[in-house]
Amino acid sequence: MAVKAAPRRGGASGLRRGEAAAGWLFTAPVIAILGVFLLIPVLMALWVSVSDWAGRGSPLSGSVSFVGADNFAAVLGDGGLATKDFGTALRNNTWYVLLVVPLQTALALFLAVLVNRAMLRGRGFFRTAYYFPSVTSTVAITVLWTFLFTASGAVNDVLSWFGINGPNWFNDPRGILHLALGTIGVDTGPASLTEGGALGVSWWEWLAGPSVAMSAYILMAVFTTSGTFMLIFLAGLQNLGADVDEAAMMDGANGWQRFWRITLPQLRPTLFTVLTLGLIGCWQVFDQIYTGTRGAPSKTTLTPAYLSYQTAFQNQEWGQGAAIAFILFVIIVVFTLLQRWVLRDRPVSKRRIRAYESPSKGASS
């Protein structure tokens, strides 16, 4: 329901006297807490990101001085260790996003379509089974995952049934694209890729793909989030009217065609929600890294979120840590806007409209 546009204001009517005061009183706790623990912190961190505060005393004290964009420059520009670490973290997380978002979305949609069938026995059981991993905490799942993916763990046991000698997952820093190239004999990149680079990381390293260790995290993310997104897709599917689908069935469209041409286009808003939530979540990888590998092996599971924490809390480089956090914030906002733009509602093109009109009409015109 939209906000009422009634002209009555608090105090104007006898019955509604004191409503304005009550309104502010009722919202006061929320405003106060979000203000103190969200708005003020962001402002303070903005200050820290342009200061030389080293973690001692208050960042607002007189001994802390303004250093301009130095912290941002150290992270983004000067090619030192801070830049290289940030570049590595960005590389790791980019691959994570590129793989997790499509995989979890596709799997969630697939599961939703499977369990949405009306004539399915054990529907409740299957839904519960697929959703359950989403309930558990990241910490608990990470503990389980590190056990399943040890060198002699359950996953490698299963792989050995198929004659595959599984890797030592969480200790293996090799990039999977480099591994794939290695199988066809390419072990070193061409000079054009190894010489140039960005953020202190060579192009060849950017293209390494996620490390084997990071791949285990990628599988974990798909495992734990597909259930949540399955529920969102289910809700979306259940809101669709059956009439369009039935009409298409009458016209002789098979199940495959109906899914791609009828169901999926109608699910666009749900798809948008899932992609946005997925994208935002995937740039915030922290809990699993903190619980599991802490960036190891060879920094291939370092993420910007964890790097920001490590830089500030462990290395006491608070300005740089805050700078990384703000850069991450910008990345998330840009990606969300970009995606909103890609998935925007486009006006239907003339060609499309013609295709929808009956063929006889189309031929005569």
Partner 1 sequence: MRRLSAKQLTWQIVLYALLIVLAVIYIYPFLIQVATSFKTDEDAATSGITLIPEVWTFAAYERLFRNSDFPSWFVNSAIVTIFVTLGRVFFNSLAGYALARLRFRGRGVVFAALIAVMSVPTVVLLIPKFLVINQLGIFNSYAGMILPLLVDAAGVFIMKNFFESIPESVEEQARIDGAGTFRIFWSVVLPMATPALVTIIILSFQGSWNELSHFIVSTNDPALTTLTKGVASLASGQLSQGTQYPLKLAAALIMTIPVAVMFFVFQRRIMNSTEGAVKE
**Of 129-168, which residues contact partner 1 (CB under 8 A)?**
129-133, 135-144, 146-148, 150, 152-154, 156-158
- Which listed range, 27-35, 70-78, 91-99, 204-212, lies at the site for partner 1 (CB under 8 A)? 27-35
Instruction: Give the range of 83-91, 109-117, 175-183, 346-354 binding partner 1 by CB under 8 A.
Output: 109-117
CB of 300 to partner 1, least distance (A): 17
Q: Is 27 in the site for partner 1 (CB under 8 A)?
A: yes
Q: Would you say 259 or 286 has its CB closer to partner 1?
A: 286
Q: Which parts of 248-307 interact with partner 1 (CB under 8 A)?
A: 269, 272-273, 276-277, 280, 283-284, 286-287, 290-292, 294, 305
Number of residues that bind partner 1 (CB under 8 A): 106
CB of 270 to partner 1, least distance (A): 9
199: alpha, beta or left? (left if phi > 0; alpha if psi -120 to 50): left
CB 28 within 8 A of CB 17: no
309 touches partner 1 by CB under 8 A: yes
Nearest distance in Å: CB 183, partner 1: 27
Quick one: 83 or 311, whose CB is closer to partner 1?
311
The contact mask relative to partner 1 for 332-351 (x = CB under 8 A, - = no) is xx------------------
Cα three-residue angle 62-68-70, rounded to 5 degrees:
110
Q: Is there binding between residue 314 and partner 1 (CB under 8 A)? A: no
> In the complex with partner 1, which residue's Cβ is closer, 40 or 177?
40
Q: Per residue, what are the HEC states of the chain?
A: CCCCCCCCCCCCCCCCCCHHHHHHHHHHHHHHHHHHHHHHHHHHHHHHHCECCCCCCCCCCCCCCECCCHHHHHHHCCCCHHHHHHHHHHHHHHHHHHHHHHHHHHHHHHHHHHHCCCCCCCHHHHHHHHHHHHHCCHHHHHHHHHHHCCCCCHHHHHHHHCCCCCCCHHHCCCEHHHHHHHHCCCCCCCHHHHHCEECCEEHHHHCCCCEHHHHHHHHHHHHHHHHHHHHHHHHHHHHCCHHHHHHHHHCCCCHHHHHHHHHHHHCHHHHHHHHHHHHHHHCCCCHHHHHCCCCCCCCCCCCHHHHHHHHHHHCCCHHHHHHHHHHHHHHHHHHHHHHHHHCCCCCCCHHHHHHHCCHHHHHHC
- Residues 206-225 binding partner 1 (CB under 8 A) are 223
Which 34-93 residues touch partner 1, going by CB under 8 A? Answer: 34, 36-42, 44-45, 48, 58-60
Looking at the Cβ atoms of 209 and 293, the one nearer to partner 1 is 293
Q: Which stretch binds partner 1 (CB under 8 A): 67-75, 86-94, 196-204, 323-331?
A: 323-331
Nearer to partner 1, 44 or 67 (CB): 44
Work out how close the CB of 190 gets to partner 1 at its nearest, in angstroms, rounded to a whole number. Answer: 37
CA–CA separation, 200 and 197 (whole Å): 7
Stretch binding partner 1 (CB under 8 A), from 97-105, 118-126, 189-197, 353-361: 118-126
- Per CB under 8 A, the list member of 80, 102, 124, 362 interacting with partner 1 is 124
